[in-house]
């Protein structure tokens, strides 16, 4: 299985995304709803901006969905920009970068880095079982597929 972080993402764009949580959420919202918004509650495809930044609100049932909802970033308790860094390093197969090194670089606890890295690696294993000979886009890892239980 070959993993592509994003074939159109340059190193400069990547560094720009990791700058802060707002940029990460903006990027995540952009790729999550790039094709279309579909309410998970009622199936409506019309939405407006939500109350919190980078969220969408269904115009029919008023259900609000954040950019991180139903993604690998759902319910994390540390900054999204740091989570992006961990995902990027896991997907780039940087085995030499341990969770201890990540913890020092990111200012997080080692167990926090290990848990999130393990979550991403488990998702990669499940994706590998489904698509062993296919190329897996970073979008599959970040936002998943709405029909699949990979989150």
Within 18-71, residue ranges assigned H as helices are: 21-32
pLDDT tens, 121-136?
Answer: 888 777 766 554 555 5
Q: What is the mean pLDDT of residues 81-110?
A: 85
In percent, the amount of the chain with pLDDT more than 90 equals 28
State the average pLDDT over residues 91-106: 81
135's enclosing H/E stretch is strand 135-137
* C-beta of residue 129 within 8 angstroms of C-beta of residue 140: no
Check residue 5 and report its DSSP letter: S
pLDDT at 104 > cutoff 90: yes
Distance CA 81, CA 85 (A): 6
Q: Which pLDDT value is given to residue 135? A: 53
CA distance linking residue 98 with residue 17, whole number of Å: 22
Is pLDDT larger for residue 14 or for residue 6?
A: 14
């Amino acid at each position: 299985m070959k993993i592509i972080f994003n074939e159109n993402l340059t190193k400069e764009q990547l560094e720009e995304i990791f700058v802060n949580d707002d940029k990460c959420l903006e990027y995540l919202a952009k790729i999550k709803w790039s094709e279309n918004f579909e309410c998970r509650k009622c199936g409506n495809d019309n939405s407006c901006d939500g109350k919190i930044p980078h969220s969408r609100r269904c115009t029919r049932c008023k259900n609000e969905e954040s950019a991180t909802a139903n993604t690998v970033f759902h319910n994390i308790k540390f900054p999204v920009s740091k989570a992006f860094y961990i995902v990027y390093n896991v997907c780039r197969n940087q085995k030499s970068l341990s969770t201890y090194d990540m913890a020092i670089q990111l200012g997080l606890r080692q167990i926090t880095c290990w848990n999130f890295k393990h979550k991403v690696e488990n998702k990669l294993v499940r994706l590998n079982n489904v698509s062993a000979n296919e190329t897996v886009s970073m979008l599959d890892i970040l936002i998943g597929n709405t029909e699949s239980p990979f989150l």
